[in-house]
Amino acid sequence: MNTLNLDIVTPNGSVYNRDNVELVVMQTTAGEIGVMSGHIPTVAALKNRLCKSEISRWN
């Protein structure tokens, strides 16, 4: 399965950076969104909630 790089950035800089992520699920101001490799490039305002990610066990 293809993977992506997850980089969560705040106004103070990067707070989380991980390779080999298969899926990211997060709450945006417009609702919940799931992002997988090959998804269109996305910039979204996030709610102050948990962000879930699935890390590839093969890489």
pLDDT at 57 over 60: yes
Q: What is the pLDDT of residues 3-44, one digit of tens each?
A: 988 888 888 999 989 999 999 998 999 999 998 988 888 888
Q: Which amino acid is at 58?
A: W
Cβ contacts of 6 within 8 Å, gap of 6 or more = 16, 17, 18, 21, 24, 53
pTM: 0.67
Q: What does the pLDDT read at residue 59?
A: 57
Q: What does the pLDDT read at residue 30?
A: 92
Domain ranges of the chain: 4-55
Give me the CATH code for the 4-55 domain, please. 2.60.15.10
